Amino acid sequence: MVDVPLGSIGAAPAAAVDDVELYHPHSWLTKYVFSQDAKIIAIQYSLTALSVGLIALVLSWLMRLQLGFPGVFSFIDANAYYQFITMHGMMMVVYVLTALFLGGFGNYLIPLMVGARDMVFPYVNMLSFWIYLLAVLILVASFFTPGGPTGAGWTLYPPQAIMSGTPGGQDWGIILMLVSLMVFIIGFTMGGLNYVVTVLQARARGMTLMRMPLTVWGIFTASFMALLAFPALFVGAVMMLFDRALGTSFFMPAIAEMGQPLERSGGSPLLFQHLFWFFGHPEVYIVALPAFGIVSDLISTHARRNIFGYRMMVWALLAIGALSFVVWAHHMYVSGMNPYFGFFFATTTLIIAIPTAIKVYNWVLTLWRGDIHLTVPMLFALAFIVTFLNGGLTGLFLGNVVVDVPLSDTMFVVAHFHMVMGVAPILVIFGAIYHWYPKVTGRMLNDALGKLHFWITFLGAYAIFFPMHYLGLMGVPRRYYEIGEMSFVPPSAHMLNAFITIVALIVGAIQLVFVFNLFWSLRHGRPSGGNPWRATTLEWQTPETPPPHGNWGRELPVVHRWAYDYSVPGAAEDFLPQNQPNAQARQGTSNE
């Protein structure tokens, strides 16, 4: 232990701090609805995001039905199909994954894990959720407007996004989408500032940056990145809204529609793509870094072993975060941008594989010589490594400019990004929910249902997306309402599509078991106690479970060690909580 010497802060007196600065709620309404408690806000964020996730799941069923059994379901016409894929994509990326990792896990875990009473700006934190909810409502409202939601693809490329050949392009769909995104970004900024400032300013005594759990590092880095990346999307959305509603031409060159020249000139469609991907690529890591952090803690806790190479893990997170801002145009190799960009962006993109690979090695090396408990959170963590590794490796195809040429815009891309930023982070979300549910509710989730949910979700998702790469390698383009007749596509590929659809229906349906488990265990789950996983981090050391408003009672915790003192030689137990001063002391003297 070179970096975090035990007891380096000596016998610091416990900080007895009255939580006078917190606003304690006086009514049911201010306690559970307009709450300023980060933990309640976290639950609000999570339930909203999971609800949007269920909508997005149904949309994915509908699009898979069309792809697997084209023409069988007459209510899915081309318009509806493009609306489904667009809303599925945007909902999952922004309104589910971003909101759940940062608004959900960030709010719950940051104050508890760094030993704070709450976020530093509780009122702004509350506003953040309500503005997020407004953004969700605006987005969902577009289903009920004339013309329906936009069908421009989640990338919303102009000019087609605001033209009549695209569903919602000349109706309300695209307007509501852009407004919803802008509202979301406003709400996120309020939350994001909170997460960053809380980590920097409100850590407990002794919680140095290099003692923070990787979960906090991941969420912190992702929030910081989101604060830098989302503004690019915001400007893009404002400009496109002007193009659509006021007739400006930011993204509109001189073009014709249905054989008639339009009154537009001078704009650049590529400008939007640069703005979009300047946001869009960091966004991938905004989703991935919290997952990296959380999975590190899950693996370490359930393998009863310190995370391997902690310092390298932190630097890798920061390196990935920084590099992710200079790789965006790898989404645009075949966009018609200056082809010389390809050299630069292929190089930066492949360099990012190095810190990412280090993270994978260190997760696996944490398992090595561990004491692996195959709990449900651990199973999800293992599945994350497999799917993330798979999706990360196919990223080396797409990042390597000339290899991207035949694969770009095919099902290979769809398979790649679902594996790497869909399946992998969602597996972490599930693992994290099984892991922290006891802290949130005081009860364990049902184990048998959890394992059933795990195996079908993991093996099913792998069976959906692994073969899909080969459809793309064959040349099947993405975003095709129907493949129809393609001379290079054998009939067996249609069978593969039908197979994928059937598995997708099953994997989707099994999520109901998970939802059932969430509600059933609330009342019938086994009582968990305060620290069922025997974990070291501060959130498991609260005086009460679930922790009340203010988290810590009268005394804030004092931190004496890093977050990964598992199986320390000579210690009485196989874990030493971060707030335990003496390595030889028995667990339980400092709390409960």
Q: How far is the CB of 194 from other proteins (least distance, A)?
A: 31
Contact with other proteins (CB under 8 A) among 9, 17, 200, 254: 254
Considering CB under 8 A, how many residues would be counted as binding other proteins?
116
User: Would you give the end-to-end CA distance of the chain in angstroms?
Assistant: 29
Q: How far is the CB of 280 from other proteins (least distance, A)?
A: 15
Pick between residue 157 and residue 520 the one whose CB is nearest to other proteins. 157
Contacts of other proteins in 538-577 (CB under 8 A): 564, 566-569, 574
Contacts of other proteins in 163-222 (CB under 8 A): 163, 165-167, 169
Q: How far is the CB of 415 from other proteins (least distance, A)?
A: 12
Written as six digits, the tokens of 226 are: 């989101």
Contact with other proteins (CB under 8 A) among 61, 130, 242, 481: 481
Q: How far is the CB of 172 from other proteins (least distance, A)?
A: 17
The span of 130-138, 186-194, 198-206, 307-315 binding other proteins (CB under 8 A) equals 307-315
The span of 281-289, 348-356, 418-426, 437-445 binding other proteins (CB under 8 A) equals 348-356
Q: How far is the CB of 549 from other proteins (least distance, A)?
A: 36
Contacts of other proteins in 263-282 (CB under 8 A): 265, 267-270
The span of 126-134, 211-219, 403-411, 540-548 binding other proteins (CB under 8 A) equals 403-411
Q: How far is the CB of 554 from other proteins (least distance, A)?
A: 34
Contacts of other proteins in 108-147 (CB under 8 A): none
**Which residue(s) pair with 566 in the sheet?**
575
Contact with other proteins (CB under 8 A) among 325, 466, 499, 520: 466
Q: Which amino acid is at 78?
A: A
Q: How far apart are CA 354 and CA 336, in angstroms?
A: 29
Pairing of strands 256-257, 15-16: unpaired
Contact with other proteins (CB under 8 A) among 14, 62, 197, 393: 393
Contact with other proteins (CB under 8 A) among 467, 508, 543, 548: 467
345 binds other proteins (CB under 8 A): no
Q: What is the DSSP letter of 235?
A: H
Q: CB of 97 within 8 A of CB of 425?
A: yes
Q: How far is the CB of 308 from other proteins (least distance, A)?
A: 7
Contact with other proteins (CB under 8 A) among 34, 130, 157, 499: 157
499 binds other proteins (CB under 8 A): no
Q: Which amino acid is at 341?
A: F
Q: How far is the CB of 454 from other proteins (least distance, A)?
A: 10
Q: How far apart are CA 209 and CA 78, in angstroms?
A: 52
Contact with other proteins (CB under 8 A) among 5, 7, 247, 253: 253
63 binds other proteins (CB under 8 A): no
Pick between residue 475 and residue 548 the one whose CB is nearest to other proteins. 475
261 binds other proteins (CB under 8 A): yes
256 binds other proteins (CB under 8 A): yes
Pick between residue 163 and residue 433 the one whose CB is nearest to other proteins. 163
Task: For 84-104, give one letter per residue: b (16+ CB within 10 A) or e.
Answer: bbbbbbbbbbbbbbbbbbbbb
Task: Specify the residue for token string 């694969």.
Answer: 407
Instruction: Residue 61: count other Cβ atoms within 10 Å of its Cβ.
Output: 17
Q: How far is the CB of 84 from other proteins (least distance, A)?
A: 13
318 binds other proteins (CB under 8 A): no
CB-based burial of residue 368 (10 Å sphere; 0-12 exposed, 13-18 middle, 19+ buried)?
exposed
Pick between residue 54 and residue 396 the one whose CB is nearest to other proteins. 396
- What is the maximum span of the chain, computed from C-alpha positions, in angstroms? 82
Q: How far is the CB of 247 from other proteins (least distance, A)?
A: 17
Which run of H or of E encompasses 575? none
Written as six digits, the tokens of 426 are: 């969602």
> How many residues are there in the chain?
592
79 binds other proteins (CB under 8 A): yes
Contact with other proteins (CB under 8 A) among 89, 149, 236, 370: 370
Q: What is the DSSP letter of 14?
A: P
CB-based burial of residue 403 (10 Å sphere; 0-12 exposed, 13-18 middle, 19+ buried)?
middle
The span of 430-438, 479-487, 498-506, 524-532 binding other proteins (CB under 8 A) equals 479-487
414 binds other proteins (CB under 8 A): no
315 binds other proteins (CB under 8 A): no
312 binds other proteins (CB under 8 A): yes
Rounded to whole angstroms, what are the CA distances from 463 to 335, 384, 458, 466, 479? 31, 15, 9, 6, 20
Instruction: Residue 26: count other Cβ atoms within 10 Å of its Cβ.
Output: 8
Pick between residue 19 and residue 573 the one whose CB is nearest to other proteins. 573
Pick between residue 48 and residue 387 the one whose CB is nearest to other proteins. 387
Pick between residue 123 and residue 455 the one whose CB is nearest to other proteins. 455
Q: How far apart are CA 542 and CA 392, in angstroms?
A: 37
Contact with other proteins (CB under 8 A) among 36, 150, 296, 408: 408
Reference 227, options 172, 189, 279; nearest CA is: 189
The runs of H, that is alpha helices, within 91-168 are 107-114, 122-141
Q: CB of 182 within 8 A of CB of 238?
A: yes
Contact with other proteins (CB under 8 A) among 339, 546, 553, 588: 339
Q: How far apart are CA 537 and CA 577, in angstroms?
A: 6
Pick between residue 130 and residue 466 the one whose CB is nearest to other proteins. 466
Q: How far apart are CA 458 and CA 447, in angstroms?
A: 16
The span of 23-31, 175-183, 467-475, 516-524 binding other proteins (CB under 8 A) equals 467-475
Q: What is the DSSP letter of 170?
A: S
Reference 353, options 396, 402, 384, 385; nearest CA is: 396
Rounded to whole angstroms, what are the CA distances from 485 to 65, 68, 411, 493? 18, 15, 16, 12
Q: How far apart are CA 459 and CA 277, in angstroms?
A: 31
Q: What is the DSSP letter of 95?
A: I
Count CA atoms closer than 13 A to 387's CA, side-chain side.
33
Reference 292, options 268, 312, 267, 262; nearest CA is: 312
